[in-house]
Amino acid sequence: MASIALKSFIGLRQTTSENKSIVLSKPTTQTHRNFRINASKSSPRVTGRNLRVAVVGGGPAGGAAAETLAKGGVETFLFERKLDNCKPCGGAIPLCMVGEFDLPLDIIDRRVTKMKMISPSNVAVDIGRTLKPHEYIGMVRREVLDAYLRDRATTAGATVINGLFLKMDLPKSTGSPYVLHYSDYNAKTGGAGEKKTVEVDAVIGADGANSRVAKNINAGEYEYAIAFQERIKISDDKMKYYEDLAEMYVGDDVSPDFYGWVFPKCDHVAVGTGTVTHKGDIKKLQIATRLRARDKIEGGTIIRVEAHPIPEHPRPRRVLDRVALVGDAAGYVTKCSGEGIYFAAKSGRMCAEAIVEGSENGKRMVDESDLRKYLEKWDKTYWPTYKVLDVLQKVFYRSNPAREAFVEMCADEYVQKMTFDSYLYKKVVPGNPLDDLKLAVNTIGSLVRANALRKEMEKLSV
Partner 1 sequence: MAMALLSAAPPNHLPNITLTQSTAKHCAILKPYFSFRLKKQPLKYQCLASTSTRAISDHEYGVGSDGSPLPAAVDPETKFQDLKWVGGTWDLNQFLKNGKTDWDDVIDAEVKRRKWLEDNPQSSSNEDPVVFNTSIIPWWAWMKRFHLPEAELLNGRAAMIGFLMTYVVDSLTGVGLVDQMSNLFCKTLLFVAVAGTLLIRKNEDIETLKKLLEETTFYDKQWQATWQDETSSSSKLN
Q: Which of 11, 15, 18, 24 binds partner 1 (CB under 8 A)?
A: 24
Tell me which residues in 430-449 interact with partner 1 (CB under 8 A). 445-446, 448-449
Q: To the nearest whole angstrom, how small is the minimum distance from the Cβ of residue 349 to partner 1? A: 19
Please give the Cα distance from 423 to 330 (Å, whole number): 21
Q: Map residues 226-255 to x or -, x wherever contact with partner 1 holds by CB under 8 A.
A: x-x-x-x--------x-------x-xxxx-
| Contacts (Cβ under 8 Å, ≥6 apart) of 448 | none
Closer to partner 1 at the Cβ: 65 or 234? 234
Tell me which residues in 356-415 interact with partner 1 (CB under 8 A). 368, 372, 375, 379, 383, 386-387, 390, 394, 400, 404, 408, 411
Closer to partner 1 at the Cβ: 44 or 316? 316
How many residues belong to the site for partner 1 (CB under 8 A)?
A: 95
Tell me which residues in 273-332 interact with partner 1 (CB under 8 A). 283, 287-288, 290-296, 298-309, 313-321
37 is a contact residue toward partner 1 (CB under 8 A): no
Q: DSSP string covering 165-231, please?
A: EEEEEPPSSTTPPEEEEEEE--TTT-SS-EEEEEEESEEEE---TT-HHHHHTT-----EEEEEEEE
Closer to partner 1 at the Cβ: 109 or 379? 379
174 is a contact residue toward partner 1 (CB under 8 A): yes
Binding part of the chain for partner 1, among 70-78, 130-138, 355-363, 450-458 by CB under 8 A, reads: 450-458
Q: To the nearest whole angstrom, how small is the minimum distance from the Cβ of residue 157 to partner 1? A: 29
Which string of b and e fits 9-27 if b means at least 16 CB within 10 Å?
A: bbeebeebeeeeeeeeeee
Binding part of the chain for partner 1, among 29-37, 134-142, 184-192, 336-344 by CB under 8 A, reads: 29-37
Say if CB 271 and CB 289 are below 8 A apart: yes
Helices within 14-87 (DSSP H only): 16-23, 29-34, 60-71
Q: To the nearest whole angstrom, how small is the minimum distance from the Cβ of residue 96 to partner 1? A: 22
Closer to partner 1 at the Cβ: 76 or 334? 334
298, with CB counted inside 10 A (0-12, 13-18, 19+), is exposed
Q: Which of 7, 15, 21, 35 binds partner 1 (CB under 8 A)?
A: 35
Please give the Cα distance from 69 to 12 (Å, whole number): 31
Please give the Cα distance from 376 to 151 (Å, whole number): 29
Tell me which residues in 66-95 interact with partner 1 (CB under 8 A). 85-88
